[in-house]
Structure 1
Amino acid sequence: MTYISEITNVMEYEALAKEKLPKMVYDYYASGAEDQWTLQENRNAFSRILFRPRILRDVSKIDMTTTVLGFNISMPIMIAPTAFQKMAHPEGECATARAASAAGTIMTLSSWATSSVEEVSSTGPGIRFFQLYVTKHRNVDAQLVKRAERAGFKAIALTVDTPRLGRREADIKNRFVLPPHLTLKNYEGLYIGKMDKTDDSGLASYVANQIDRSLNWKDVKWLQTITSLPILVKGVLTAEDASLAIQYGAAGIIVSNHGARQLDYVPATVMALEEVVQAAKGRVPVFLDGGVRRGTDVFKALALGASGVFVSI
């Protein structure tokens, strides 16, 4: 039995979660796509990056504050969008929003959240971004973006690496489906279907029915016509796509492989970071998510040119 009072680092929460969560829920949060090579590589790649320390520098005054898209935050560590948080705790995304606000940093709310943008906004002040999946129902997407804007969200993180859901074999084995007492709160009343139990992954079937596989760069321009919020393109792993993201008006880039849950055998995000930073040439900020577990990981990402990192909770 693991106790919270005994935990000394983020990684130890995994064992605690495995003890406390139903197997289907734990496997959903913990697993990656197919062989899960990239899932391991997201961590292993950080271990291959070594420091070249300098000594006898005055470090008596440390300032970790920074700005992201003009917003002042306490540290270059923000919260990445994570779906279905009420599977882990009854307060779900609302608790995360309060914690992010208390820590003085940014929370990104998943469009697949189990709390709505309005519910998260009602928790009090805070800087929040809204993550968007583009569906086959553009009128619904437009409604979600406008609701997020009205609720005080400050940017849109457009996920671009999910034209179809990655083959997550744990979810297939468990026949994953959202527990019946939970819903995708942002889509309630919008009539775009619900997640039903199937012979494999209910989430995969839902995504196949709802996500628009024709998503392309022109849709970044379309998004700009329905909102004045800055758009971060989330899911970039190459210099070529970084250049295109800037060409099509992205206000920032998030180097991400979707937590290794989409295409297996893509590079760890920290391995892709440097070429994206070089392609951006300082024109927009570049952020990173994936595999970040310690402060040393954050430092490595910053040293390679990231303006900050997003961590999943």
Structure 2
Amino acid sequence: MRGRSVRSLTTVEDVRQAARRRLPRMVFDFIDGGAEDETTVRANREGFADLALKPAVLSGARTRDLSTTVAGQRLSLPVLLSPAGLLRLAHREGELGAARAAARAGTVFTLSTGSSYTIEEVAAAADGPTWFQLYLWRDRAVVSDLVERARVSGYGALVLTVDVPVVGQRERDLRNGMTLPPRPTPRNVLDVLRRPDWLRGYLGGPALTFANFTDIGRGDSATALGAFVNREMTDPAQSWDDLAWLREQWRGPLLIKGIVSGADARHAVDLGVDGVIVSNHGGRQLDGMVGAIGALAEVVDAVGGDADVVLDGGVRRGTDVAKALAIGARAVMVGRPYVYGLGAGGGTGALRVLDILRDELDRCLALMGCGGVGDLDRSHLATPVGARS
């Protein structure tokens, strides 16, 4: 889809549908799908529908302040880009386009450990703040190496993902025969050929692989490397001791992602994290669990202002952002929305998603009678949530 057409899209759902048209089904479903019956994916969205906003009249401001601060980083709007792996599947620009879009929007791009461009390549291309996401790998030497590379490259914070002790069962991928990297099969080859723009970009760019690990010597094929990454980044035996160890390795801002309980959030803060990201991995891990917005109040109440809380999961509208902030989040993260944007039109598409959310949030605040995101609190919700006001 051409850049001018992407800029004409009105909603995140419009962008999603544009991505669906441009991408092969196996790629779109890899981005769009979740684990098993996808009940957690639905819970993330339905949780927002269960919350009703309660505006005040004759109390607004001519302009609204959308800026916020998370883990010491000032943002022009309270929407960050969540880590997502192998973004070159969506578009040739991949992580490079997403990082540039975040910079233009005045927010943070979080690079996934499983990126298709290296830590160093993304740092060189980005002209805005970047954070780096990692897992508690089985081999601490791997973690130490990644942390050092992120530090040298100037990443401003670490985001530790803790909800992948094993990889969830993503059944759309199994049905579609989706592999990493994608391989043509009788089932999907015709569908791929019907998407010539995507195919040209895929074949015309660098080989799709886990770029941060190409020198580990675990096999000379992308398939062998992918098997290594999937095996080593998961560890059912990971523990709070691993978090304490990582806190010692990285002295900058540290956020923990994948928390849905107040007790876990409190423990993480007591171990020294600077931010808690309430997330269920976008419904891609454990199916049938609580929606992210449904877990937010408990976490905010348990943290009690001792760390910044961010909501990740199900955000598709500016009103969703407002509801999360009213409960007590400092900001939200979005994953699928900006990847839809990449799929629809590269970095231009990702930026369009952020512009849509900015416009919707600003309009929501005006209609709510708020002068800025800092005015939002639980009094702006008709549905009681949690204990704090």
Q: Shared topology, TM-score over 0.5?
A: yes
CA distance in 2 between partners of 1:171 and 1:48 (Å): 30
Are the counterparts in 2 of residues 129 and 157 from structure 1 also a CA contact under 8 Å? yes
Equivalence for 2:209: 183
Equivalence for 1:216: 239
Are the counterparts in 2 of residues 37 and 265 from structure 1 also a CA contact under 8 Å? yes
Aligned runs of 1:83-122 on 2, under 5 Å? 83-122=85-124
Q: Do the aligned partners of residues 134 and 195 (structure 1) sit closer, same or farther apart at CA in structure 2, a change above 3 Å counting?
A: farther
Are the counterparts in 1 of residues 247 and 273 from structure 2 also a CA contact under 8 Å? no
SS in 2 for 1:211: coil
Q: Do the aligned partners of residues 119 and 66 (structure 1) sit closer, same or farther apart at CA in structure 2, a change above 3 Å counting?
A: same
Q: Do the aligned partners of residues 203 and 297 (structure 1) sit closer, same or farther apart at CA in structure 2, a change above 3 Å counting?
A: farther
Equivalence for 2:321: 298
Greater helix share, 1 or 2?
A: 2
Equivalence for 1:244: 267
CA distance in 1 between partners of 2:31 and 2:273 (Å): 29
Q: Is residue 233 from structure 1 mapped to residue 235 from structure 2 by the alignment?
A: no
With normalisation by structure 2, the TM-score equals 0.76
Equivalent residue in structure 2 for 1:73, among 51, 57, 75 = 75
Equivalent residue in structure 2 for 1:196, among 223, 226, 231 = 223
Are the counterparts in 2 of residues 273 and 288 from structure 1 also a CA contact under 8 Å? yes
CA distance in 2 between partners of 1:125 and 1:11 (Å): 28
SS in 1 for 2:125: coil
Sequence identity (%):
41
Equivalence for 1:27: 29
Are the counterparts in 2 of residues 140 and 190 from structure 1 also a CA contact under 8 Å? no
- Residue 210 of structure 1, CA deviation: 4.3
Corresponding letter in the other structure for 2:37: D
Corresponding letter in the other structure for 2:85: A
SS in 2 for 1:122: helix
- Give a deviation string over 1:7-39, Cα, whole Å, max 9, x none: 210112222112111122111101011110111
CA distance in 2 between partners of 1:99 and 1:153 (Å): 17
Q: Is residue 258 from structure 1 mapped to residue 281 from structure 2 by the alignment?
A: yes
- Residue 209 of structure 1, CA deviation: 4.9
CA distance in 1 between partners of 2:7 and 2:101 (Å): 19
With normalisation by structure 1, the TM-score equals 0.93
Corresponding letter in the other structure for 1:123: A
CA distance in 1 between partners of 2:73 and 2:213 (Å): 29
CA distance in 2 between partners of 1:267 and 1:125 (Å): 36
CA distance in 2 between partners of 1:69 and 1:209 (Å): 29
Moved >4 Å (runs of 4+):
192-195, 202-206
CA distance in 2 between partners of 1:5 and 1:119 (Å): 27
Stretch moving more, 27-36 or 165-174: 165-174
Higher RCO (CA-CA < 8 Å; seq separation 6+):
2
SS in 2 for 1:121: helix
CA distance in 1 between partners of 2:144 and 2:65 (Å): 39
Equivalence for 2:308: 285
Stretch moving more, 52-61 or 252-261: 52-61
Corresponding letter in the other structure for 2:215: G
- Residue 211 of structure 1, CA deviation: 2.1
Gaps of 5+ in 2: 183-206, 339-389
Corresponding letter in the other structure for 2:103: S
Q: Do the aligned partners of residues 53 and 97 (structure 1) sit closer, same or farther apart at CA in structure 2, a change above 3 Å counting?
A: same
Indicate the structure (1 or 2) with the bigger Cα radius of gyration. Answer: 2
Equivalence for 2:355: none
Corresponding letter in the other structure for 1:147: R
- Residue 226 of structure 1, CA deviation: 1.8
Gaps of 5+ in 1: none
C-alpha RMSD over aligned residues: 2.0
CA distance in 2 between partners of 1:149 and 1:33 (Å): 33
Are the counterparts in 1 of residues 96 and 126 from structure 2 also a CA contact under 8 Å? no
Are the counterparts in 2 of residues 177 and 203 from structure 1 also a CA contact under 8 Å? no
Q: Do the aligned partners of residues 94 and 101 (structure 1) sit closer, same or farther apart at CA in structure 2, a change above 3 Å counting?
A: same
CA distance in 2 between partners of 1:234 and 1:58 (Å): 34
Are the counterparts in 2 of residues 288 and 309 from structure 1 also a CA contact under 8 Å? yes
Equivalence for 2:230: 207
- Residue 5 of structure 1, CA deviation: 5.5
Are the counterparts in 1 of residues 134 and 159 from structure 2 also a CA contact under 8 Å? yes
Equivalences, count: 309
Q: Do the aligned partners of residues 153 and 206 (structure 1) sit closer, same or farther apart at CA in structure 2, a change above 3 Å counting?
A: closer
Are the counterparts in 1 of residues 181 and 222 from structure 2 also a CA contact under 8 Å? no
Equivalent residue in structure 2 for 1:127, among 126, 129, 134 = 129
- Residue 187 of structure 1, CA deviation: 1.3
